[in-house]
Structure 1
């Protein structure tokens, strides 16, 4: 990936044309101010026609001139910080110059989806840069005196001009920004009222972002607040992990898969609070996404499990090219699953799912809309415990069914159903944590224990299938020695039996 960058920490100040530069050497740690350097900059800002990136406080621009010419993507990190990612300029036609580099486009696709990125503003800036130098000759920060000519592009074009100062940290503590703000305030110069140059250029097209009316769930507040808090948390995880998956970051597929499963599970538990058609549609689409994510994640888990088995075997017991065969097949399947996943994340189906999930991120004050049922407005202390009780009953019923099945494939399927019920109970209990932390932790902890035990049992089922069908049978047909496949299959069978025994013991000790 060609993009690179870092964390941007800066502060902007509004000034008029007659403002005089303050004594910057008065700032703590500043030993000298370097000679000024003048740059003529042009920046073209890109967004969707409805400014989705701007709404999300994301800035994407192509800058020419100065010592940092290129594509710049600025992503909010909280606390006034922004992560800045760069990519080089194109070297060809204007059409190619207006094409956002894929290395940056993939970082914002979860917001942009299938809408095109177009120029929305152009800024021409005459910048005077002064480096603030420490006693050791290091650059602590840079002070920029900008005179800006801005054009708003699109169907409502407009223009504006202004002057502003900007102080950006390089190798200094954040205290320097506070000290500079105090010095400037004493001269009547205040922090800019505009969040960015782009906001000022867009003028009345800049989206208003009022503080959301999101109340923390409590026993006496509507039950919908419990559901909404959980949904928002998991939707946020999906937004965060989407670009991580596209960059093949470790753990990202697992994190999004868990968030997707949590959403699907919580919607099932709280289905009585939401329009049934909405619940059915979302659970179907989330099930599709979880399956696609699962293809990539399951292959990763299986690869590590089989590799661990091989690593713990004596070399004398590994007959034939078993390691090479398993690794080759795992690599092939993982590559295929990865390509399927990337295609899914670029599909209209995925983008429409994101649209539908956003419809659920309504302010708490709007739970009385047709999206929600009358039960959503009832006290959480009445509704939520009843929903958890129903999940407990479903788990007990699944366990009773598993106890009646015969060992083998039928028992494996039944225990897998128990695992899914335990997982749903766990997620439901976690949503209730704000209402009764102690009880919620006890229930979710027990459910998670069952889920973990049966997860190992289910992984063993999958591993045995790989060893038998894709290992032993294929090896036999190639005329290779199958002894090691059978031995590993038997070891996995023992692991599954141990896990099942552990489960029944844990269940018998439940509170």
Structure 2
């Protein structure tokens, strides 16, 4: 797997590559390659429409199967596998990674690209810094009986991520010589010209425009995490779960703008719960690992690290298996279809057509009032245990107020960013307390298992003490944070 950082340029057939020798210690090349690539997609181009490229390429220094995922923050993730004999069957590992896009549809060859490539490499000694590829392309659209398109393009790919300034300098030099930034995201897009996923439009400046833009962004974020979750990449489950929560929160908060979304909300809740098991185990395993690392070695008695590390990791892997099963099922595909339909043709309420400033500030204020009402309700409960449960509702309300404010910041400005931060402060301190309580329960269960196995439980007691202290400090500090937050919000709203 690699991260692709590159700029593409359209050039004329008689374009002359400028001298780049002054931009690096040395320049080697050009070296020529003949590349033949077959591109795979569904008949209706579901991959290309989302900026996904799946190909089998012969020739050059990186022959094999390549999967390029959509660009995010200027980079594209590329996954490579060795070349296989078959041109008909996509390697199962790659087919699995695009399931969220294909949703069960077959993959077949949709295009063939024959490229004569001339490569120039900018170096610092033995280190390759940047590669400039000058490509003359013959592309055949295999869907339309052999329609052929020819063009020339230049691609500057950064090989050393620390040298982004070099990429900018090379790009400037290429443009000065007459190159123009490519209008197409990829060679495949240039020949197939896939239509992007449909998006509903609303009156400029309306509440509907702002809300639909946010929903579309979060739906894209959820989809983008799917391949990363399947590969169990760092933080991927967390990011996908957050996208679920933000979507569900927005659909609740903006129910007067986008209507009739209860079914989608319920399915997002289901997916969030599927993701939650592995994420919670990941968090608590990391938590215990840091606490054990902070203890003197003589205080770690018995196989505590195994129980709180390897055992929890095994459970986490089992949870990942359940996630992969869910992500390959019809229920998940139906949810993705529902999200596509939501951003393409939502049912809009009367509030959607009204000015964003008027409607959305009112919604933000209403969502904060839910936090204060939940707090007042919790404080009225006399029984301490029941009050703790009620305070969990305060945390959930604060999280929804935070997500709502984050959604509105691009439209309403910095005040919404401040509101989101204030709501997050409430969410975080209540979360610290709740996490400490849950950690104590987990440690107590693990200690009992250790006791039954005849192991020393001394270290578990120490860890319980650490967690109890953390929870109690958060509990004691909450009244101050609450008072300061309420005053600050009153000034904003």
Unaligned runs of 5+ in 2: 159-165, 488-493
TM-score of the pair, normalised by structure 2? 0.82
Shift of 1:74: 3.6
1:159 to 111, 123, 147: 147
* 1:495 aligned onto 2:467: no
Distance 1:392 1:132, change over 3 A: closer
Q: For residues 31 and 410 of structure 2, what CA distance do their matches in structure 1 show?
A: 55
Shift of 1:242: 2.0
Could you give the per-residue CA deviations for residues 367-419 of structure 1, whole angstroms, max 9, x where no partner exists?
xx661112221222332233233323322222123223356542332221111
1:256 to 201, 226, 240: 240
Q: For residues 133 and 504 of structure 1, what CA distance do their matches in structure 2 show?
A: 60
Shift of 1:450: 0.9
Quote the RMSD (CA, aligned, Å).
3.7
Q: Is the 8 A contact 2:440 2:464 kept in 1?
A: yes
* 1:265 aligned onto 2:249: yes
Q: Which residue matches 1:371? A: 347
Distance 1:224 1:183, change over 3 A: closer
Q: Is the 8 A contact 2:304 2:459 kept in 1?
A: yes
Bigger drift between 370-379 and 472-481 goes to 472-481
Q: Secondary structure at the match of 2:98?
A: helix
Q: For residues 322 and 135 of structure 1, what CA distance do their matches in structure 2 show?
A: 49
Shift of 1:338: 1.7
Q: For residues 230 and 295 of structure 1, what CA distance do their matches in structure 2 show?
A: 27
Q: Which residue matches 1:301? A: 283
Shift of 1:501: 2.0
Larger Rg: 1
Q: Which residue matches 1:112? A: 102
Q: Which residue matches 2:46? A: 52
Q: Which residue matches 1:18? A: none
Q: Is the 8 A contact 2:199 2:343 kept in 1?
A: no
Q: Is the 8 A contact 2:207 2:351 kept in 1?
A: yes
Q: Which residue matches 1:244? A: 228
Q: Is the 8 A contact 1:29 1:135 kept in 2?
A: no
Q: For residues 51 and 294 of structure 1, what CA distance do their matches in structure 2 show?
A: 32
TM-score of the pair, normalised by structure 1? 0.80
5 Å-filtered alignment, 1:74-93, equals 74-77=68-71, 84-91=78-85
Could you give the per-residue CA deviations for residues 166-221 of structure 1, whole angstroms, max 9, x where no partner exists?
33336774554554555568xxxx8888765534544xxx324599787898xxx3
Unaligned runs of 5+ in 1: 16-20, 363-368
Q: Secondary structure at the match of 1:44?
A: strand
Distance 1:326 1:447, change over 3 A: same
How many residue pairs get aligned? The number is 476
Could you give the per-residue CA deviations for residues 457-509 of structure 1, whole angstroms, max 9, x where no partner exists?
111121121122x2233233334444443453344333322222212232234
Q: Secondary structure at the match of 2:188?
A: helix
5 Å-filtered alignment, 1:500-511, equals 500-509=475-484, 510-511=486-487
Q: For residues 328 and 145 of structure 1, what CA distance do their matches in structure 2 show?
A: 50
Distance 1:459 1:194, change over 3 A: closer
Q: Secondary structure at the match of 2:409?
A: coil
